[in-house]
Amino acid sequence: MESKSEFVTRFKAKTKQMAVDVLRLIDTLKPCKSSNNIAFQIIKSASSTGANYRAACKSRSENEFYSKMSIVLEEADETLYWLEIIEELNLIDDEDELQRLQNECLEIIKVVTAARKKKYEK
């Protein structure tokens, strides 16, 4: 069984890799006016997901942890939203990669939701 420390290390890497993968995906968007705005928004939300998770790991209290994890949840959900917009506007050719990233976001959302709930129930 994975220790808490191992999980935290793995999840930090997972949220960082999701941001890197989204940034790579954005570089392949079909050029149009909407792509510029979507790229700007999703770059912020995807990178903020991992950055705020790292901040949550350094939180000084349970309330601060909950607050930071709430931001992680919000940013991951926003990233998923922009990925869905990219899909609906057909702005990307690599549908498999887009689907994989949507699944990554959903997994991050589920983990963070569970972690917030667990901390809040104590």
* More confident site: 49 or 115: 49
Spans of all domains in the chain: 34-121
CATH of 34-121, one of 3.40.50.300, 3.40.50.880, 3.10.20.90, 1.20.1440.60: 1.20.1440.60
Per-residue pLDDT band for 68 (boundaries 50, 70, 90) equals: very high
Per-residue pLDDT band for 107 (boundaries 50, 70, 90) equals: very high
Per-residue pLDDT band for 119 (boundaries 50, 70, 90) equals: low
Per-residue pLDDT band for 3 (boundaries 50, 70, 90) equals: confident
Residue 60: other Cβ atoms inside 10 A = 7
Gyration radius from the chain CA atoms: 15
Residue 11: other Cβ atoms inside 10 A = 19
* Cα 55 versus chain centre, distance: 14
DSSP code, position 90? T
Would you state the structure tokens that stand for residue 83, as one six-digit string?
Answer: 């990925």
Per-residue pLDDT band for 2 (boundaries 50, 70, 90) equals: confident
pTM, two decimal places: 0.92
